[in-house]
Amino acid sequence: MDLRITEIFLSIQGESTHAGRPCAFVRLTGCPMRCVWCDSEYTFTGGTRISFEEIYARLKEFGCNLVEVTGGDPLAQKNVFPFITRLLDDGYEVLIETGGFFSTEKVDERAKIILDVKCPASGESERNYWANLESLRADRDEIKFVIADLNDWKFAKEIIAEYDLENRAKEILISPIFGIENLAEIAETVSRSGLRVRLNLQLHKYIWGADVHGV
Protein backbone atom coordinates (compact mmCIF):
# COMPACT_ATOMS: atom_id res chain seq x y z
CA MET A 1 0.00 0.00 0.00
CA ASP A 2 1.06 3.56 -0.51
CA LEU A 3 0.08 7.18 0.07
CA ARG A 4 0.42 10.32 -2.02
CA ILE A 5 2.89 12.41 -0.07
CA THR A 6 3.90 16.07 -0.34
CA GLU A 7 6.71 15.97 2.22
CA ILE A 8 8.20 14.03 5.13
CA PHE A 9 10.41 15.92 7.53
CA LEU A 10 11.63 16.25 11.09
CA SER A 11 10.98 19.48 12.94
CA ILE A 12 9.49 21.02 16.05
CA GLN A 13 5.77 20.71 16.59
CA GLY A 14 4.50 24.26 16.14
CA GLU A 15 0.96 24.00 17.48
CA SER A 16 -1.37 22.43 20.03
CA THR A 17 -0.44 21.31 23.54
CA HIS A 18 2.43 19.41 21.88
CA ALA A 19 4.07 22.66 20.65
CA GLY A 20 7.83 22.70 21.08
CA ARG A 21 8.24 18.91 21.00
CA PRO A 22 10.46 17.30 18.36
CA CYS A 23 8.07 15.79 15.82
CA ALA A 24 8.24 13.93 12.51
CA PHE A 25 5.70 15.14 9.96
CA VAL A 26 4.11 13.09 7.19
CA ARG A 27 2.25 15.57 4.99
CA LEU A 28 -0.23 13.97 2.63
CA THR A 29 -1.25 15.52 -0.68
CA GLY A 30 -4.78 16.71 -1.38
CA CYS A 31 -7.63 18.56 0.28
CA PRO A 32 -11.17 19.14 -1.00
CA MET A 33 -11.58 22.40 0.94
CA ARG A 34 -10.36 25.84 -0.08
CA CYS A 35 -10.01 27.95 3.05
CA VAL A 36 -9.23 31.49 1.92
CA TRP A 37 -6.30 31.82 4.35
CA CYS A 38 -4.90 28.31 3.68
CA ASP A 39 -1.16 28.15 4.32
CA SER A 40 -0.62 24.80 2.62
CA GLU A 41 -1.98 25.28 -0.89
CA TYR A 42 1.17 23.58 -2.17
CA THR A 43 -0.35 20.29 -0.97
CA PHE A 44 -3.44 20.52 -3.18
CA THR A 45 -1.85 18.83 -6.18
CA GLY A 46 1.25 16.89 -7.14
CA GLY A 47 2.95 14.82 -4.51
CA THR A 48 4.61 11.43 -4.94
CA ARG A 49 3.18 7.99 -4.28
CA ILE A 50 5.39 6.45 -1.58
CA SER A 51 4.98 2.96 -0.15
CA PHE A 52 4.24 2.46 3.53
CA GLU A 53 7.55 0.64 3.92
CA GLU A 54 9.50 3.57 2.50
CA ILE A 55 7.70 6.04 4.77
CA TYR A 56 8.32 3.85 7.84
CA ALA A 57 12.01 3.65 6.89
CA ARG A 58 12.24 7.46 6.67
CA LEU A 59 10.59 7.81 10.07
CA LYS A 60 12.93 5.27 11.60
CA GLU A 61 15.91 7.31 10.38
CA PHE A 62 14.55 10.36 12.26
CA GLY A 63 14.49 8.47 15.56
CA CYS A 64 11.58 10.58 16.80
CA ASN A 65 8.70 8.89 18.62
CA LEU A 66 6.14 11.64 17.94
CA VAL A 67 4.64 11.59 14.43
CA GLU A 68 2.06 13.97 13.02
CA VAL A 69 0.05 12.87 10.00
CA THR A 70 -1.18 16.02 8.28
CA GLY A 71 -1.97 17.56 4.88
CA GLY A 72 -3.81 18.91 3.03
CA ASP A 73 -6.34 16.78 4.74
CA PRO A 74 -4.83 13.38 5.51
CA LEU A 75 -8.26 11.75 5.84
CA ALA A 76 -8.90 12.37 2.13
CA GLN A 77 -6.85 9.22 1.32
CA LYS A 78 -8.42 5.95 2.43
CA ASN A 79 -5.03 4.24 2.87
CA VAL A 80 -4.25 6.59 5.71
CA PHE A 81 -6.30 4.52 8.17
CA PRO A 82 -4.18 1.32 8.04
CA PHE A 83 -1.07 3.52 7.87
CA ILE A 84 -2.00 5.17 11.18
CA THR A 85 -2.74 1.81 12.80
CA ARG A 86 0.65 0.44 11.78
CA LEU A 87 2.42 3.50 13.23
CA LEU A 88 0.61 2.96 16.52
CA ASP A 89 1.38 -0.78 16.48
CA ASP A 90 5.05 0.16 16.06
CA GLY A 91 4.89 2.26 19.23
CA TYR A 92 4.74 5.79 17.79
CA GLU A 93 2.68 8.50 19.45
CA VAL A 94 0.51 9.70 16.57
CA LEU A 95 -1.17 13.07 16.05
CA ILE A 96 -3.71 13.51 13.26
CA GLU A 97 -4.31 17.07 12.06
CA THR A 98 -7.53 17.19 10.05
CA GLY A 99 -9.55 20.00 8.51
CA GLY A 100 -12.91 18.91 9.89
CA PHE A 101 -14.58 17.99 6.61
CA PHE A 102 -14.15 14.19 6.82
CA SER A 103 -15.49 11.86 9.50
CA THR A 104 -12.85 10.85 12.05
CA GLU A 105 -14.75 7.63 12.80
CA LYS A 106 -12.24 5.31 11.08
CA VAL A 107 -9.15 6.79 12.75
CA ASP A 108 -7.54 4.28 15.13
CA GLU A 109 -8.76 5.15 18.61
CA ARG A 110 -5.18 5.29 19.97
CA ALA A 111 -4.32 8.30 17.78
CA LYS A 112 -4.69 11.85 19.08
CA ILE A 113 -6.84 14.00 16.84
CA ILE A 114 -6.42 17.73 16.34
CA LEU A 115 -9.67 18.69 14.68
CA ASP A 116 -10.25 22.01 12.93
CA VAL A 117 -13.58 23.75 13.04
CA LYS A 118 -13.75 26.13 10.11
CA CYS A 119 -14.97 29.60 11.05
CA PRO A 120 -16.92 31.94 8.70
CA ALA A 121 -13.91 33.91 7.40
CA SER A 122 -12.43 30.68 6.02
CA GLY A 123 -15.28 30.53 3.50
CA GLU A 124 -15.73 26.84 4.35
CA SER A 125 -17.72 26.86 7.60
CA GLU A 126 -20.75 25.33 5.86
CA ARG A 127 -18.71 22.17 5.23
CA ASN A 128 -17.79 21.30 8.83
CA TYR A 129 -18.70 17.69 9.64
CA TRP A 130 -20.38 18.42 12.95
CA ALA A 131 -20.76 14.79 14.07
CA ASN A 132 -16.99 14.78 14.70
CA LEU A 133 -17.55 17.07 17.68
CA GLU A 134 -19.77 14.44 19.32
CA SER A 135 -17.02 11.82 19.27
CA LEU A 136 -14.10 13.82 20.72
CA ARG A 137 -12.18 12.04 23.53
CA ALA A 138 -11.54 14.43 26.43
CA ASP A 139 -8.29 12.75 27.43
CA ARG A 140 -6.53 13.25 24.08
CA ASP A 141 -8.35 15.12 21.30
CA GLU A 142 -7.92 18.84 20.69
CA ILE A 143 -10.09 21.19 18.71
CA LYS A 144 -8.75 24.16 16.78
CA PHE A 145 -10.51 27.32 15.64
CA VAL A 146 -8.47 29.38 13.21
CA ILE A 147 -9.49 32.99 13.83
CA ALA A 148 -9.22 35.64 11.12
CA ASP A 149 -11.29 38.32 12.90
CA LEU A 150 -13.47 38.94 15.93
CA ASN A 151 -16.53 37.57 14.14
CA ASP A 152 -14.73 34.21 13.94
CA TRP A 153 -14.07 34.41 17.68
CA LYS A 154 -17.79 35.01 18.27
CA PHE A 155 -18.58 31.96 16.11
CA ALA A 156 -16.03 29.86 18.05
CA LYS A 157 -17.64 30.81 21.36
CA GLU A 158 -21.06 29.80 20.05
CA ILE A 159 -19.78 26.39 18.90
CA ILE A 160 -17.88 25.85 22.18
CA ALA A 161 -21.13 26.42 24.09
CA GLU A 162 -23.40 24.50 21.72
CA TYR A 163 -21.23 21.36 21.77
CA ASP A 164 -20.02 21.68 25.38
CA LEU A 165 -16.44 21.56 24.08
CA GLU A 166 -14.90 22.63 27.39
CA ASN A 167 -15.90 19.20 28.69
CA ARG A 168 -15.56 17.24 25.47
CA ALA A 169 -12.07 18.22 24.28
CA LYS A 170 -8.69 17.95 25.95
CA GLU A 171 -7.89 21.45 24.73
CA ILE A 172 -9.61 24.18 22.74
CA LEU A 173 -7.06 25.97 20.58
CA ILE A 174 -7.76 29.52 19.43
CA SER A 175 -5.39 30.08 16.54
CA PRO A 176 -5.19 33.58 15.02
CA ILE A 177 -3.98 33.50 11.41
CA PHE A 178 -0.28 34.37 11.12
CA GLY A 179 0.37 38.07 10.59
CA ILE A 180 -3.06 39.20 11.79
CA GLU A 181 -2.98 42.92 12.61
CA ASN A 182 -5.02 42.90 15.82
CA LEU A 183 -3.31 39.96 17.52
CA ALA A 184 -3.04 41.83 20.83
CA GLU A 185 -6.75 42.69 20.76
CA ILE A 186 -7.63 39.04 20.10
CA ALA A 187 -5.29 37.86 22.87
CA GLU A 188 -6.88 40.30 25.33
CA THR A 189 -10.39 39.28 24.27
CA VAL A 190 -9.55 35.59 24.70
CA SER A 191 -7.96 36.24 28.09
CA ARG A 192 -11.13 37.91 29.35
CA SER A 193 -13.46 35.18 28.04
CA GLY A 194 -13.50 33.03 31.15
CA LEU A 195 -13.36 29.99 28.86
CA ARG A 196 -11.01 27.01 29.15
CA VAL A 197 -9.20 27.81 25.91
CA ARG A 198 -5.58 28.22 24.81
CA LEU A 199 -4.19 30.87 22.45
CA ASN A 200 -2.36 28.84 19.82
CA LEU A 201 0.39 30.63 17.88
CA GLN A 202 2.19 28.79 15.11
CA LEU A 203 5.65 28.48 16.63
CA HIS A 204 7.30 27.20 13.43
CA LYS A 205 6.36 30.39 11.55
CA TYR A 206 8.05 32.54 14.18
CA ILE A 207 11.20 30.42 13.83
CA TRP A 208 11.42 29.85 10.06
CA GLY A 209 8.93 32.32 8.57
CA ALA A 210 5.46 31.91 7.14
CA ASP A 211 6.38 30.70 3.67
CA VAL A 212 9.01 28.12 4.52
CA HIS A 213 7.91 24.51 4.69
CA GLY A 214 9.52 21.11 5.11
CA VAL A 215 11.66 22.23 8.07
40, 79, 125, 202: which one binds ligand SF4 (CB under 6 A): 40
From the list 124, 120, 80, 79, the residue with the least C-alpha distance to 100 is: 124
Query: How much is the CA Rg of the chain, to the nearest whole Å?
Result: 17
Where does residue 91 fall: left (phi above 0), alpha (psi -120 to 50 degrees), or beta otherwise? Answer: left
Scanning 31-39, 59-67, 186-194, 197-205 for contacts with ligand SF4 by CB under 6 A, the matching segment is 31-39
Q: Considering only residues 24, 26, 31, 197, which one is a binding residue for ligand SF4 as defined by CB under 6 A? A: 31
Q: How many chain residues are in contact with ligand SF4, going by CB under 6 A? A: 10
| Interface pick for ligand SF4 out of 6, 14, 23, 71 (rule CB under 6 A) | 71
Nearest to 133 by CA among 158, 152, 115, 156: 115
Shortest Cβ 9–ligand SF4 spacing (Å): 17
Q: Which is nearer to ligand SF4, 112 or 185 (CB)?
A: 112
* Residue 38 binds ligand SF4 (CB under 6 A): yes
> Are the C-beta atoms of residues 177 and 146 closer than 8 Å to each other?
yes
Task: Using CB positions, name the residue nearest to ligand SF4.
Answer: 99
Q: In whole angstroms, how close is the CB of 185 to ligand SF4 at the nearest point?
A: 23
Closest contact distance (angstroms) between CB of 72 and ligand SF4 is 5
34 lies in the site for ligand SF4, by CB under 6 A:
yes
Residue of the chain from 14, 47, 74, 99 that contacts ligand SF4 (CB under 6 A): 99
Q: Which stretch binds ligand SF4 (CB under 6 A): 28-36, 106-114, 179-187, 198-206?
A: 28-36
Residue selected from 14, 72, 74, 176 as contacting ligand SF4 according to rule CB under 6 A: 72
Extract the runs of DSSP E, i.e. beta strands, from 134-206. 142-147, 171-176, 198-199
Q: Which parts of the chain are beta strand (E)?
A: 2-12, 22-28, 48-51, 66-70, 93-98, 112-117, 142-147, 171-176, 198-199
Contact 61, 102 (CB under 8 A): no
Crossing angle of helices 80-89 and 52-62, rounded to 10° = 40
What residue ranges bind ligand SF4 (CB under 6 A)?
A: 31, 33-35, 38, 40, 71-73, 99
